[in-house]
Structure 1
Amino acid sequence: MHPAYFIAGTDTDIGKTTIAAGLLQAARAAGLTTLGAKPVASGCDHTAAGLRNADALALIEQSTLRLPYEQVNPFAFEPAIAPHLAALEAGMTLEVETLAAAMHHVLVQGADFTLIEGAGGWRVPLSAQAALSDLAVALQLPVILVVGVRLGCINHALLSAEAIARDGLHLAGWVANVIDPQTSRLEENLASLADRLGAPCLGRVPRLQQARARDVAGHLHLHLLA
């Protein structure tokens, strides 16, 4: 198992953070030290300590190594919009080099299992020139893909996997997150994904009433990353 992974999703709002927290919890249960980070987050709340993002806080909760919030989520924006638009409204430009430097500080902490979580899908823009995928390339991390299982997920998953491969990165595994349990031909869809993605399925997470990290972890198989 690699000590660090970039976790990406096939789209936005498909449970990427839920799965990331579950993976970190599974690693903790296996006796590993853990650390999660989210370099860019939009949709943050004002608090006495500053802007805070629920996804970043969920990763912190499952991290055994503690870093200041600003190191876990160095770029936080209030509006729940695409990161490059949020940055533009805040009068700044997101640069891959700056994000990579911040994430290198996370990686050198030396956790047994580190997750760097993207935002939205693989090609979400950072600026007019760059995308979040460029950060994954700069970090040279293997990728875990969270597939939001609903109508259309096969196309989204295969296009994402093709883009990851085209960028020269290794798809280490994928997780089927069943966000629509009424998906027609669910089993056939999952079988099609397993046949075509060319990477181990790390778990199938059903629609949970309470998607707590420990409940999600029970559906994940971290050892398959080996």
Structure 2
Amino acid sequence: MSKGIFITATGTDIGKTYITALLVKKLRDDGLNAGYYKPALSGAEHINGEWVPGDCSYVAKTAGLEVPARSLTSYMYRTAVSPHLAAQIEQHPIESGVILADFIRFTKMYDYLTVEGCGGIVCPLRLDDKLLMQTDIIKLLQLDVLIVAPSGLGSINSTVVTVHYAQSQGLTVKGIILNHFDTASYLHRDNKACIERLLKLPVIACVGDHAGNVTLDTAALCGLYKEVF
């Protein structure tokens, strides 16, 4: 039975891809059959004459996934805006059925599947004749959530708001990962303590800049993943 988890964040450019890559790398380095999937991506990179999903490429390279980066996402948009707007501009709307089918295909390939979302938790994927939010996809895939948050000033507010919103949508938040963490910073250490106290949730890892690995027990990490279809 395959297991999965969904990675989201308190906002955009928080470091979801960086953290996701380290999590998948951790599992694979420890001999587990771990994979990665990103339902939709906007802001593709133009490299050597072709469009490349940069996030997928980064995770594949970091984690040692020897597959074409383009195969790791269902929807790739060139325009660097919210997916719902990119889809409108490029006239290629996101369909939840496509994402579900691709997700199921990936679960048959990997024992542990890490799914990376777009932007923050409140991310519209479609706002035309249909309303499709990122939270709808998380529910559709029946996954629990890990939230990536910054470590600095403002982190308490953004993390608490994000967790409460996720929970209000009926999602299960398994924990928080603090990115850009500086162990020498009193502010960062205090933010961690405050977040755990206010939310009654664990900060499962604190990751510094340019970390080559995530310091997290493999068994504990595996325990965060939920059995899927």
Question: What is the TM-score normalised by the length of structure 2?
Answer: 0.85
Q: Percent identity?
A: 28
What corresponds to 1:39 in structure 2? 39
The AA in structure 2 aligned to 1:34 is: A
Q: Which runs of 5+ in 2 are unaligned?
A: 224-229
What corresponds to 1:126 in structure 2? 125
What corresponds to 2:176 in structure 1? 174
- Report if aligned partners of 1:87, 1:93 keep a CA contact under 8 Å in 2: yes
- Report if aligned partners of 2:176, 2:203 keep a CA contact under 8 Å in 1: yes
What corresponds to 1:162 in structure 2? 164
Taking a change above 3 Å as real, the CA distance of residues 94 and 184 of structure 1, as seen in their structure-2 partners, is farther
SS at match of 1:75: strand
Supply the distance in 2 between the matched residues of 1:195 and 1:181 (Cα, whole angstroms): 19
Taking a change above 3 Å as real, the CA distance of residues 120 and 184 of structure 1, as seen in their structure-2 partners, is farther
1:19-58 matches, within 5 Å, as 19-47=19-47, 50-58=50-58
Question: What is the TM-score normalised by the length of structure 1?
Answer: 0.86
Taking a change above 3 Å as real, the CA distance of residues 163 and 108 of structure 1, as seen in their structure-2 partners, is farther
Alignment partner of 1:216 out of 204, 213, 216: 213
1:140-159 matches, within 5 Å, as 140-159=142-161
Q: Which runs of 5+ in 1 are unaligned?
A: none
1:81-122 Cα shifts (integer Å, max 9, x gaps): 11111111101222223222222221222x232101001001
1:9-58 Cα shifts (integer Å, max 9, x gaps): 11111111110011111112222111011111111123468421221112
Count of aligned pairs between the two proteins: 218
What corresponds to 2:105 in structure 1? 105
Supply the distance in 1 between the matched residues of 2:59 and 2:194 (Cα, whole angstroms): 31
Supply the distance in 1 between the matched residues of 2:85 and 2:167 (Cα, whole angstroms): 27
171-180 vs 191-200, which moves further: 171-180
Supply the distance in 1 between the matched residues of 2:46 and 2:180 (Cα, whole angstroms): 31
Q: Supply the RMSD in Å over aligned alpha carbons.
A: 2.4
